[in-house]
């Protein structure tokens, strides 16, 4: 629901990646700095100048004075904005991390726990419940981190700092600060309740203020749309976003893994739309051997990495892509949803890839790292930022190349060897 891309070609890619780093349990740079507050005479002047913008927007003077009068900007966001990633993930690592065993198990539990809610959402919006579960898992680990101070912070001091002191995308930050102040002015939330990423994304499905204002849904009918608390409003607003902004098509699959006829890789141009029936006539079949359920629907043929799995992707893949314009993100999210549904993993491995480690294997990695003095802040089978930092430190100390912070099977084998 944010307009910040993780696409490698996007000039704003690092911002969006860092904005969700806490929820994903993998930081773009490994450290998550805590808030740092400092108010100056120059910031005071900016607050007074910006006041006219807020009043013109319809925000009351009382709200502006109460929220901004003594606010100290969170200046740590400047470091987050400019920080470069310390390593690059391969696509298979990106997917494995986000489709972890913990997320799949937890997603299946949430599918049962919220079966009634998810059924209503499917009926009202037509969005597949497993796509919603995948998105919920990707964005906040099913709500697990939305108020965790280790990853989240008050968003108004962060947005104020960005609007005041960050020249790149300043109009964007100013607009989102005004949106946040509007939410407070409408009494939808108090400033101290608006906790999120350093870039301002909040709640179960990480809404930016603009989305809260314009796409939020009061699905539980308590008088306000709310991305926190029960997941009803967050999931409904997300479904609405996918339909209205992503053009989600009711009843259509996002796509599927396929096998191509030998020697026909040129077909995978990711541009040419054909019906599933036509693709089948050309020798493209589902990797699991099943028939195409809706042969008249349209799809494109895509091979993300040469030698890796191939996919037919339809308009609903693009709908999810609109939520965060990154193909890695979109494929990982939808694959997570399929795994929660009970589907198997990819039939064709990515080059150099590994299977997803089990929870117990991740716990063993964490235990062995701790025994060697590389602290993971717990042994829980989840690859959070502390585990990633511990792996990176271990890899650097032992001259392991590449330094990728990945809690995988090769790392486990090395640890078991006593290295």
pLDDT of the residue at 38: 65
Nearest to 290 by CA among 300, 302, 280: 280
State the Cα–Cα distance between residues 411 and 419, nearest whole angstrom: 10
Scored b (16 or more CB within 10 A) or e, 128-159 reads bbbbbbbbbbbbbbbbbbbeeeebbbbbbbbb
Indicate if the pLDDT at residue 188 is higher than 90. yes
Q: Which two tokens stand for residue 284?
A: 């493209």
Q: How confident is the model at residue 361 (pLDDT cuts 50, 70, 90)?
A: very high
pLDDT, mean of residues 331-347: 97
Q: Is the peptide bond before 402 cis (omega within 30 degrees of 0)?
A: yes
Q: Does the reported pTM lie above 0.85?
A: yes
Q: Residue 373: which residues within 8 A CB-CB, separation 6 or more? A: none
Burial label for 383, CB within 10 Å (0-12, 13-18, 19+), is: buried
Least confident of 20-24, 197-201, 206-210: 20-24
Average pLDDT value for the chain = 91
pLDDT of the residue at 328: 96
Q: Are 180 and 159 in contact (CB under 8 A)?
A: yes
Q: Which long-range contacts (CB under 8 A, 24 or more apart) does 260-267 make?
A: 260/284, 260/301, 260/303, 260/310, 265/303, 267/301
State the Cα–Cα distance between residues 325 and 320, nearest whole angstrom: 8
Indicate if the pLDDT at residue 37 is higher than 80. no
């Amino acid at each position: 629901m944010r307009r910040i891309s993780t696409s490698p070609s996007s000039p704003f890619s690092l911002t969006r990646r860092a904005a969700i780093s806490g929820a994903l349990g993998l930081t773009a740079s490994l450290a998550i700095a805590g808030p740092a507050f400092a108010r100056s005479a120059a910031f005071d002047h900016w607050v007074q100048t910006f006041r006219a913008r807020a009043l013109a927007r319809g925000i009351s003077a009382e709200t502006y004075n109460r929220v901004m009068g003594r606010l100290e900007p969170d200046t740590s966001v400047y470091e987050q904005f400019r920080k470069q990633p310390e390593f690059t993930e391969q696509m298979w690592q990106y997917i494995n991390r986000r489709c972890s065993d913990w997320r799949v198990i937890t997603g299946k539990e949430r599918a049962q726990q919220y079966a009634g809610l998810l059924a209503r959402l499917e009926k009202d919006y037509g969005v597949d419940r497993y796509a919603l579960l995948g998105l919920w898992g990707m964005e906040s680990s099913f709500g697990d981190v939305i108020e965790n101070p280790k990853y989240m912070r008050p968003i108004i001091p962060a947005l104020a700092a960005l609007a005041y002191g960050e020249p790149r995308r300043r109009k964007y930050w100013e607009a989102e600060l005004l949106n946040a102040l509007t939410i407070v002015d409408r009494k939808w939330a108090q400033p101290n309740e608006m906790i999120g990423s350093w870039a301002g994304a909040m709640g179960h499905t990480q809404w930016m203020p603009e989305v809260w204002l314009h796409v939020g849904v009061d699905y539980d009918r308590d008088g306000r749309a709310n991305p926190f608390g029960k997941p009803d409003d967050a999931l409904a607003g997300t479904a609405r976003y996918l339909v209205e902004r992503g053009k989600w098509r009711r009843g259509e699959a996002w796509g599927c893994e396929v096998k191509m006829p030998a020697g026909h890789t040129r077909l995978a141009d990711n541009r040419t739309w054909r019906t599933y029936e036509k693709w089948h006539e050309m020798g493209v079949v589902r990797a699991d051997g099943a028939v195409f359920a809706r042969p008249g629907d349209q799809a494109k043929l895509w091979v993300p990495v040469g030698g890796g799995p191939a996919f037919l992707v339809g308009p609903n893949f693009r709908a999810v892509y609109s939520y965060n314009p990154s193909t890695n993100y979109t494929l990982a999210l939808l694959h997570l949803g399929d795994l929660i549904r009970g589907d198997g993993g990819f039939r064709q491995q990515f080059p150099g890839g590994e299977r997803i480690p089990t929870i117990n294997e991740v716990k063993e990695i964490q235990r062995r790292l701790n025994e060697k003095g590389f602290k993971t802040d717990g042994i829980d089978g989840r690859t959070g930022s502390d585990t990633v930092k511990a792996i990176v430190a271990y890899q650097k100390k032992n001259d392991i190349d590449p330094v990728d912070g990945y809690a995988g099977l090769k790392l486990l084998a090395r640890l078991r060897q006593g290295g």
